């Protein structure tokens, strides 16, 4: 091999008439515009497929003769001009992020982004959600900017050896042949930022991905200015030991904030998508201390008002944890910079009264540095509140200040063109721009059954054709015999009921639930007149040995002669394969253990394409399910014995397939159309389409998180942070004086036999010590109690201050009603109160009647 004396970027030589192609290719808006995708496919379809649908690389590799021919191709030029005009019109609505007209900017930080298979820098659901978030923000014209890391090798490519064991390869990404551009300074040099690590400084250059109207800035440490080990910081996604992970997350959080500064963007709100980027909160505090002359506590009050945090984790094992010695190694200088000691720093990432060896949690850090937090489905919000209740001692789990915004999908990216054409025809064009309009989705019923069914059949045939080609390629790569390769062309049936199971392989997702009873499964799959087939896909994390064992066990199971033609595992699951699956299967299968799937979005994609969801009541299906649109496995039970729970739910799954799913699919009318099944498809599309789209999701983020955070941050930052200083001082006073508060007396007129119509008087006498009545709010909580005397469902009613009693106590009263009959109870609590608080639930500041 020869080492280059100098490297440089060679751009494709496009004739002037074709220059718009370059601009179109460098805005990944093309990835959700079918006309644009067709344009590049028209350029050279085989090359476009060979480059994983990368228009930039396609332009770089297409022959000059082909380009010269296209200059005289009026049909192609007309197509290009139409797409270019649409892009230009779309970009006219881009929000202003810099300059005197700039809006309040939301900076969205994520460790990975799944925008297109042409940019393999994502691992799965989190990254695809991040990509859909940016695409929806672009469509809605939100003043949002993305921040992430640009990985030289990204996530791995998967293949299986002859024994079914997952192998990984890490192809190198050629950034100059991807739809990204290097940011440069006024002298044309690459724009870089610096982040301090022990004994050295690490620099990173900044790349920009234009996601429609939204810029996504990505950091790349693989430059000659860095030491070899530091150049690896942006080598792979989710690999390496804890030392590598903490260094990556420092670069993402701290370096990401500095990258925004370098390009002239000063965000009002920073959105941490998972805890990976939580160190950004420290950089915001440093900047506030430096810019406004604030103390650490004052800067924490100010910046936390402008930070929001989304957790995607349902189990503690999914949280990034760092041993205290790693915090000492990489954060000691930060302690000095921020003016706080080691104990205070560690307390930002650990529960109160944590033992010395307790690891530092990035999720706890994110919660400590944010004023708003949310889970990603209603059920996950509940799980997250229970999981983190210990951070708010004395606060009931249902009142822990972690909300829920259920994920959605970017419908333009995931709905097939065939289905989109039907929706345009029968719903009208607004479904494309306003998918959250509930009235529009009701028009799905207008689609003739025959038309919807034949459209879906074409997509299933396309899926089976792709799967056969993929199987042949997999067998060739493994060195299979000619006879085995030849038989692969007969695998699967384009007319058979097709079930899809595709997701990250992890033990809690229970990919082998279907294999609990192989004889029963075989009978279900191999009925002569009612065949069923299953397509599996998914990757296991390279270090997750139990998940790799799941894949291996699956491969061995399907080698049975009675299963091998009916069950196929497709290697190297990515966005391209996902589109084939969600657009072509009849049933989408999802089998996680209850409470362990945060949301899941693949089922949403399948449902919007007409597939029917068959799932445990977990994640989004907990709120999305109804018997009119799909099937549930169980009723949301949790089992102390996993093996027993798996056995029970496996038999429930078999029953559903045998008695409901298969019969309904094959119940055909005189025209061979399963009208009952098609009716289910329509109801599912209408219900899921209107609720689980990213436009609804982004609007909820705006209404519940972004807008309140912008308003509060601006208010606290006004006049050099005057209100932040005052609130910080007030918090200190309340914290010091809270132990002096005493509930001296609680009185009520409630007696046995009170009815739900009776008004009941409550009176409280309160000793406030050094605090004043305006510093607190007093509430009565009344509702249903269980046999142990615990209030399990209650109303919270604020009490009104009535002034001091003769002995100097504060008196509070209220009239209230019990809204339930039966065994009921009440109690009283005191919470802090200030107009600039984001929530009255502050860690450790609650007093209950005893």
State phi, psi for 592 to the nearest 5 degrees: -70, 155
Count the neighbouring beta carbons within 10 Å of the beta carbon of residue 124. 22
Burial of 34 (0-12, 13-18, 19+ CB in 10 A): middle
Helix (H, G, I), strand (E, B) or coil at 546: helix
State phi, psi for 570 to the nearest 5 degrees: -100, 125
Distance in angstroms (rounded) separating the CA atoms of residues 289 and 296? 7
**Measured in whole angstroms, how far is the alpha carbon of residue 273 from the centre of its chain?**
7
Q: How would residue 754 be classed by pLDDT, with cut points 50, 70 and 90?
A: confident
Q: What is the pLDDT of residue 353?
A: 87
Decide if 574 contacts 123 (C-beta within 8 A): no
Chain segment 678-727, per-residue pLDDT in tens:
999 999 999 999 999 999 999 999 999 999 999 999 999 999 999 999 99
Average pLDDT value for residue range 350-365: 94
**β-sheet bridge partners, residue 181:** 208
Q: What is the pLDDT of residue 820?
A: 83
**Residue whose tokens read 């279907």:** 514
Q: What is the pLDDT of residue 3?
A: 67
Decide if 438 contacts 663 (C-beta within 8 A): no
Count the neighbouring beta carbons within 10 Å of the beta carbon of residue 526. 14
Q: What one-character-per-residue DSSP string does 429-488 give?
A: THHHH-TT-HHHHGGGGGS-HHHHHHHHHHHHHHHHHHHHHHHHHHHHHHT--HHHHHHH
Q: What is the pLDDT of residue 239?
A: 77
How many Cα atoms occupy the beta-carbon half-sphere of 201 within 13 Å? 6
Q: What is the pLDDT of residue 133?
A: 98
Average pLDDT value for residue range 65-81: 95
Distance in angstroms (rounded) separating the CA atoms of residues 777 and 799? 8
Chain segment 645-669, per-residue pLDDT in tens:
999 999 999 999 999 999 999 999 8
Crossing angle of helices 296-304 and 280-292, rounded to 10° = 120
Average pLDDT value for residue range 197-223: 97
Distance in angstroms (rounded) separating the CA atoms of residues 243 and 230? 11
Q: What is the pLDDT of residue 480?
A: 84
Two structure tokens written together for 533 = 């087939």
**Residue whose tokens read 């995931």:** 414
State phi, psi for 820 to the nearest 5 degrees: -130, 150
Q: What is the pLDDT of residue 12?
A: 65
Between CA 436 and CA 440, with CA 437 as vertex, the angle to 5 degrees is 125
Distance in angstroms (rounded) separating the CA atoms of residues 593 and 154? 29
Distance in angstroms (rounded) separating the CA atoms of residues 702 and 697? 9
Distance in angstroms (rounded) separating the CA atoms of residues 367 and 288? 19
Residue 2 pLDDT > 80, yes or no?
Answer: no
Q: What is the pLDDT of residue 316?
A: 78
Locate the DSSP E strands across 274-327: 307-310, 321-322
State phi, psi for 624 to the nearest 5 degrees: -90, -25
Average pLDDT value for residue range 2-21: 76
- Alpha-helical (H) ranges within 92-211 are 125-140
Helix (H, G, I), strand (E, B) or coil at 154: strand
Q: Taking Cα atoms as reference points, which of 621, 654, 653 lies closest to residue 636? A: 621
State phi, psi for 548 to the nearest 5 degrees: -65, -35
Torsion-angle region of residue 838: left (phi > 0), alpha (psi -120 to 50) or beta?
A: alpha
How many Cα atoms occupy the beta-carbon half-sphere of 581 within 13 Å? 27
CA distances from 84 to 19, 30, 80, 822 (A): 10, 10, 6, 68
Residue 215 DSSP class: E
Which element (helix H / strand E) includes 260?
helix 256-262
Q: Taking Cα atoms as reference points, which of 623, 616, 694 lies closest to residue 653? A: 616
Q: How would residue 7 be classed by pLDDT, with cut points 50, 70 and 90?
A: low
**β-sheet bridge partners, residue 360:** 322
Q: Which residue has the higher pLDDT, 240 or 599?
A: 599
CA distances from 556 to 162, 512, 548 (A): 10, 12, 13
Q: What is the pLDDT of residue 553?
A: 96
Two structure tokens written together for 642 = 């996993």
Two structure tokens written together for 668 = 């055909």
**Measured in whole angstroms, how far is the alpha carbon of residue 249 from the centre of its chain?**
18
Distance in angstroms (rounded) separating the CA atoms of residues 261 and 257? 6
Q: How would residue 244 be classed by pLDDT, with cut points 50, 70 and 90?
A: very high
- In the chain, count H helices and then E strands: 32, 28
pLDDT winner (highest mean) among 169-173, 469-473, 629-633: 629-633
Decide if 547 contacts 541 (C-beta within 8 A): yes
Distance in angstroms (rounded) separating the CA atoms of residues 267 and 107? 6
**First-to-final CA distance of the chain:** 78
Helix (H, G, I), strand (E, B) or coil at 536: strand
Residue 738 pLDDT > 60, yes or no?
Answer: yes
Burial of 280 (0-12, 13-18, 19+ CB in 10 A): buried
pLDDT winner (highest mean) among 282-286, 783-787, 840-844: 282-286
Average pLDDT of the chain is: 94
Q: Which residues contact 139 (CB under 8 A, 6 or more apart)?
A: 212, 410, 412, 433, 695
Decide if 778 contacts 842 (C-beta within 8 A): no
Q: What one-character-per-residue DSSP string does 780-812 give?
A: EEEEEE-TTS-EEEEEEEEPEEEEE-TTS-EEE
Distance in angstroms (rounded) separating the CA atoms of residues 338 and 316? 29
In this structure, what is the dihedral angle of CA atoms 378, 380, 386, 391, given to the nearest 10 degrees? -100
Chain segment 531-557, per-residue pLDDT in tens:
999 999 999 999 999 999 999 999 999
Q: What share of the chain in percent tops pLDDT 90?
A: 87
Q: What one-character-per-residue DSSP string does 66-98 give?
A: HHHHHTT-HHHHHHHHHHHHHHHHHHTTPPP-S
What Rg value do the Cα atoms of the chain yield, rounded? 29
Distance in angstroms (rounded) separating the CA atoms of residues 846 and 598? 29
Distance in angstroms (rounded) separating the CA atoms of residues 77 and 80? 5
Helix (H, G, I), strand (E, B) or coil at 219: strand
**Measured in whole angstroms, how far is the alpha carbon of residue 734 from the centre of its chain?**
37
Q: What is the pLDDT of residue 11?
A: 63
Q: What share of the chain in percent tops pLDDT 70?
A: 99
Average pLDDT value for residue range 673-681: 97
Q: Which residues contact 568 (CB under 8 A, 6 or more apart)?
A: 467, 471, 491, 492, 533, 534, 535, 536, 558
What's the predicted TM-score (pTM) here? 0.95
Q: What is the pLDDT of residue 1?
A: 58
Q: Which residues contact 50 (CB under 8 A, 6 or more apart)?
A: none
Decide if 520 contacts 654 (C-beta within 8 A): yes
């Amino acid at each position: 091999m020869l080492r280059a004396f100098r490297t440089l970027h060679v751009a494709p030589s496009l004739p002037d008439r074709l220059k718009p192609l370059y601009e179109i290719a460098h805005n990944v808006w093309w990835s959700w515009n079918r006309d644009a995708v067709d344009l590049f496919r028209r350029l050279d379809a085989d090359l476009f497929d060979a480059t994983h649908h990368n228009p930039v690389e396609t332009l770089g590799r297409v022959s000059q003769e082909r380009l010269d021919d296209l200059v005289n191709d009026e049909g192609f030029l007309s197509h290009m001009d139409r797409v270019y005009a649409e892009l230009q019109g779309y970009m006219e609505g881009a929000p202003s992020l810099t300059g005197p007209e700039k809006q309040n900017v939301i900076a969205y930080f994520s460790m990975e982004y799944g925008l297109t298979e042409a940019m393999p820098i994502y691992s799965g659901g989190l990254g695809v959600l991040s990509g859909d978030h940016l695409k929806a923000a672009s469509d809605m014209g939100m003043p949002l900017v993305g921040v992430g890391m640009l990985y030289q090798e990204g996530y791995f490519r998967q293949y299986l050896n002859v024994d079914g064991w997952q192998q990984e390869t890490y192809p190198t990404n050629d950034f100059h042949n991807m739809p990204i551009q290097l940011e440069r300074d006024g002298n044309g040099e690459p724009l870089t930022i610096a982040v301090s690590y022990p004994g050295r400084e690490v620099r990173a250059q900044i790349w920009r991905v234009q996601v429609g109207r939204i810029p996504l800035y990505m950091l790349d440490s693989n430059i000659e200015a860095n030491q070899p080990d530091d150049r690896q910081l942006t080598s792979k996604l989710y690999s390496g030991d804890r030392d590598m992970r903490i260094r990556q997350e420092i670069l993402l959080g701290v370096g990401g904030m500095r990258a925004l500064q370098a390009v002239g963007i000063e965000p009002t709100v920073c959105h941490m998508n998972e805890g990976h980027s939580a160190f950004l909160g420290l950089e915001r505090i440093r900047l506030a201390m430096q810019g406004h002359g604030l103390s650490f506590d004052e800067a924490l009050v100010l910046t936390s008002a402008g930070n929001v945090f989304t957790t995607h984790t349902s189990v503690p094992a999914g949280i990034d944890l760092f041993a205290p010695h790693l915090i000492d190694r990489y954060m000691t200088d930060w302690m000095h910079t921020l003016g706080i000691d080691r104990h205070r720093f560690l307390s930002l990432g650990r529960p109160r009264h944590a033992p010395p060896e307790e690891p530092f949690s990035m999720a706890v850090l994110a919660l400590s540095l944010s004023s708003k937090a949310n889970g990603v489905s209603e059920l996950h919000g509940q799980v997250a509140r229970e999981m983190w209740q210990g951070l708010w001692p004395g606060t009931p789990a249902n009142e822990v200040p972690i909300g829920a915004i259920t994920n959605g999908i970017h419908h333009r990216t995931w709905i097939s063109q065939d289905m989109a054409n039907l929706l345009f025809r029968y719903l009208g064009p607004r479904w494309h721009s306003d998918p959250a309009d509930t009235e529009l989705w009701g028009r799905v019923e207008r689609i003739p059954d025959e038309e919807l069914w034949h459209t879906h059949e074409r997509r299933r045939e396309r899926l089976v054709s792709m799967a056969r080609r993929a199987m042949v390629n997999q067998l060739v790569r493994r060195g299979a015999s000619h006879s085995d390769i030849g038989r692969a062309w007969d695998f699967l049936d384009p007319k058979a009921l097709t079930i899809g199971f595709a997701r990250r392989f992890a033990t809690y997702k229970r990919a082998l639930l279907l294999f609990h009873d192989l004889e029963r499964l075989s009978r279900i799959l191999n009925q002569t007149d009612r065949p069923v087939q299953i397509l599996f896909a998914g990757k296991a994390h390279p270090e997750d040995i139990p998940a790799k064992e799941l894949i291996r066990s699956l491969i061995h199971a399907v080698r049975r002669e009675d299963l091998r033609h009916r069950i196929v595992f497709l290697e190297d699951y990515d966005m391209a394969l996902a589109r084939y699956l969600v657009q072509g299967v009849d049933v989408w299968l999802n089998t996680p253990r209850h409470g362990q799937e945060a949301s899941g979005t693949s089922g949403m994609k399948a449902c919007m394409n007409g597939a029917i969801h068959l799932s445990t009541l977990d994640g989004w299906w907990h709120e999305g399910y109804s018997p009119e649109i799909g099937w549930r496995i169980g009723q949301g039970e949790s089992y102390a014995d996993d093996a027993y729970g798996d056995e029970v739910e496996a038999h429930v799954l078999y029953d559903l397939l045998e008695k409901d799913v298969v019969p309904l699919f094959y119940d055909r009318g005189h025209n061979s159309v399963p009208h009952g099944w098609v009716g289910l498809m329509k109801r599912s599309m209408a219900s899921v389409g209107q609720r689980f789209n990213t436009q609804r999701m982004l609007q909820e983020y705006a209404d519940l998180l972004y807008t309140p955070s912008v308003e509060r941050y601006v208010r606290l930052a006004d006049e050099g942070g005057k209100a932040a200083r005052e609130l910080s001082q007030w918090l200190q006073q309340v914290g010091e004086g809270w132990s002096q508060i005493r509930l001296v007396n609680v009185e009520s007129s409630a007696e046995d036999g009170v009815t739900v119509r009776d008004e009941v008087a409550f009176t409280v006498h309160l000793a406030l010590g050094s605090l004043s009545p305006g510093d607190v709010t007093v509430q009565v909580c009344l509702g249903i109690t269980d046999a142990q005397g615990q209030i399990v469902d209650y109303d919270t009613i604020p009490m009104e201050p009535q002034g001091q009693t003769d002995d100097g106590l504060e008196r509070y009263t209220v009239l209230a009603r019990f809204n339930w009959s039966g065994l009921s109870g009440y109690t009283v609590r005191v919470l802090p109160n200030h107009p600039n608080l984001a929530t009255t639930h502050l860690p450790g500041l609650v007093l209950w009647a005893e």
